[in-house]
Each structure stands twice: as structure tokens, then as C-alpha cells.
Amino acid sequence: MVTALKELDIGERLHVFPGCMPSNDSTTRTSQPAFLKALIRQADSLERLSHISGNTQYLPRKCSTFDDDTARLRHLSNLRSLSLGIETMLLTHLQRDDYPASLCELKVMDVSWANNLRGGPEDTLRHPGRVLRHCTEVVKGMSRPIDLSILFSNPNPEQILSTIPTANIALVLQSIIDGLLRTPMYTLSSLLRSSNRHLSLLTSKFSSKNSYIPPYMYGEEVPFEEVFYDSDHFWRVCGVNFRVMDDEVFVEEVKKKPKMACAPCRDRVGRWECYNAGDGSICLHCERDSRIDGREVECVYDVDTGAWGHEVE
């Protein structure tokens, strides 16, 4: 007799140590077609599924999961919520438009990719863009896009996507990440918004300075998820409005206004470029410092420029 399951969390080994290695028998791994066939046995009851295939260095060779018509993700007819590691073969099913009409939300987790970054700082900088572009390709393959959230396993992507590149490193950064910093995020957000769907970017954090790895043992802190981007506020990352830097049409309109620079920007070393809307509102640097760094900042424009002052509320 098969027990009916409404929720199922399956995660293979993310952290590999001597004596704690994933199985070499590919037929026992969840990256094989037999895994989906087993899930189909819960088709009448399963509503929420979470799956991570494990450490990417130890994934078995991928097998085609589209040869056998008896096993399709769309056969999970009551499935409403999916949480998938970016490496899992189940995400390929969505990219090939194989998912049930009941599915309402998808969460993609980067933890397997993030745990195996080996290329140093440059790979770390490229990582958010790689994840966002991969998810964009998945959404493009879906005839009926759904709400998407992406969970980054550490704060690095949040810090990278909320960076204001200074003039002397902006071009270098663009060459490293193959384009503008937040473009992959805006591209994915626009794609989902065109179908009246929603994008959220989250990061996994610990309240204390200590961090732990799953499975979490008794007494260990479990991380919480914090949203740092919401497509309903298209230009805002970490609560900071990057439109004056990233919206090319808006920037051209701003350039037609009298040039203003606030006093704090004049005082910052390496921040000679003051990003502001030319209307006396708080500039990008001051807004970021007050929202992200938690510093009390008064964004006051130099009276010699004919501008006015603005105090952060």
C-alpha cells in the first residue's frame, strides 16, 4: 500500500567528506528517470515538492527523461509548489514545458552551484548573472509562466546586485560579468511581468554570526529567507532605487536637467559621480548608505549649484 504524501522534501548530499560520499550507483540517484517514476505514484496527493540533486561534482551522467511517456512532471496533477535546485533534472522538465496546470509557484535554489565555485572572485561576480540567465531560459520554455522566486544560499549575490560600480572599475566589472551588473535581473523580471507574473530574489541568512550546514542538528540555528528584490518595485534592490543608474531612457531625461551633486558625494573618495534625478531627491549613494549600511546620511546639495537640500527621513 502506498502512503499518500502532500509534501515531500528530498535532498542529496551537498557537502562531501572522506567516508561521506554520494553513491556511485547512478540507478539509486534522484537525477535518474526512476526518480520521477516513483514520484508519479504520489500524483493524486502530492502538492508541494522540494528537491536538490546534491554536489554538482558528484552528479551522475544525465539520462534523457523524455523517452518514456509513462513518467512526466505534468502527471503530478495536484502539484502546486515546486522548490528545485538549479542543477536538478526536474528543472529541465519545466524548461521543456512539462509541468501540471495546477502548478502556481516555483522556487529555484542556487546552493549546489554556489558550493562549487572554484574560480575565485571572478566566478563569484559572475554567479548571480549565471543563475538569473539560466532561470530566464527556463521561463522562456514555459508556455504558461508562473511566479518565480530565486533563493541565493549566501549574501554574496545580494551584495553584488546592490553594488554601485565607481567610474574607475565599471568597465572592468562589465568585462568580467559580460555586461551591466543588474541587466540579467531586469531581463528576467520583464519577462515575467509581461505575463503578469512575479519575481522575487531572496537570500538565506542566519540571525547570529554563526552559520551551519544541513541537516541542522539540535541546537543549531536554522537560516531564514529575506527578500532583497521584488519585481513589483522594478528598479529597487535592497530598498534602493537604481533607476537613475540603470534605466537608459530615464538617464537621458535626467541629463537634460541642470547637473547637481550633493555634498556627501563630493566628500566621498572615488565617488566623484553623483547619481541623482536632478530634482533634489536623495541621490543613489546617500540612499544606499542609509538603507544598506545603516548610516545616518543627510543628502544636501551644494547651494552654489542652485540646488537645494534634502534630509533622509
Reported as a pLDDT band with limits 50, 70 and 90, residue 310 is: very low
When divided into structural domains, the chain yields a total of 2
Report if residue 305 sits inside a domain.
yes
- Count CB atoms within 10 A of the CB of residue 56: 14
Q: Do 57 and 197 belong to one domain?
A: yes
What pLDDT is attached to residue 306?
Answer: 42
From 214, 230, 245, the end of a domain falls on 245
What pLDDT is attached to residue 251?
Answer: 93
- Count CB atoms within 10 A of the CB of residue 54: 24
Between 63 and 156, the more confident residue is 156
What pLDDT is attached to residue 118?
Answer: 79
The Cα 248–Cα 126 span in angstroms is 23
From 245, 269, 287, the end of a domain falls on 245
Q: Do 284 and 256 belong to one domain?
A: yes
pTM of the model: 0.90
Q: Do 45 and 138 belong to one domain?
A: yes
Q: What does the pLDDT average to over 120-137? A: 94
Burial letters 242-254, b for 16+ CB under 10 A, else e? bbbbbbeeeeeeb
Report if residue 58 sits inside a domain.
yes
Domain that holds residue 13: 7-245
Across 75-79, 132-136, 171-175, 191-195, least confident range: 171-175
The Cα 72–Cα 79 span in angstroms is 12
- Is residue 245 pLDDT above 50, yes or no? yes
The Cα 6–Cα 44 span in angstroms is 9
User: Could you tell me whether strands 309-311 and 7-11 are parallel, antiparallel, or unpaired per DSSP bridges?
Assistant: unpaired
Report if residue 2 sits inside a domain.
no
What pLDDT is attached to residue 312?
Answer: 37
**Which range, 28-32, 201-205, 297-301, 305-309, is most confident?**
201-205
Q: Do 213 and 97 belong to one domain?
A: yes
Q: Do 271 and 144 belong to one domain?
A: no
From 245, 268, 291, the end of a domain falls on 245
Between 306 and 44, the more confident residue is 44
Q: Do 98 and 231 belong to one domain?
A: yes
Q: Do 263 and 229 belong to one domain?
A: no
Q: Do 116 and 210 belong to one domain?
A: yes
Each residue's pLDDT tens digit, 61-78: 665 555 555 578 999 999
Q: What is the largest CA-CA distance in the chain?
A: 82
Report if residue 168 sits inside a domain.
yes
What pLDDT is attached to residue 311?
Answer: 38
Each residue's pLDDT tens digit, 16-62: 888 878 877 777 888 777 888 889 999 999 999 999 988 888 787 66
Between 265 and 81, the more confident residue is 81
- Is residue 216 pLDDT above 90, yes or no? no
Report if residue 70 sits inside a domain.
yes
What pLDDT is attached to residue 96?
Answer: 94
Report if residue 1 sits inside a domain.
no
Reported as a pLDDT band with limits 50, 70 and 90, residue 307 is: very low
Report if residue 299 sits inside a domain.
yes
- Is residue 309 pLDDT above 60, yes or no? no
User: For residue 284, with 0-12 CB atoms within 10 Å meaning exposed, 13-18 middle and 19 or more buried, which class applies?
Assistant: buried
User: Could you tell me whether strands 240-241 and 199-205 are parallel, antiparallel, or unpaired per DSSP bridges?
Assistant: unpaired
- For residues 82 and 106, the answer to whether their CB atoms sit within 8 Å is yes
Report if residue 164 sits inside a domain.
yes
- Count CB atoms within 10 A of the CB of residue 165: 15
The Cα 189–Cα 132 span in angstroms is 10
Between 216 and 105, the more confident residue is 105
The Cα 190–Cα 198 span in angstroms is 9
The Cα 302–Cα 260 span in angstroms is 8
What pLDDT is attached to residue 67?
Answer: 57
Q: Do 300 and 159 belong to one domain?
A: no
| Mean pLDDT, the chain, whole residue set | 86
- For residues 170 and 215, the answer to whether their CB atoms sit within 8 Å is no
Q: What does the pLDDT average to over 156-173? A: 85
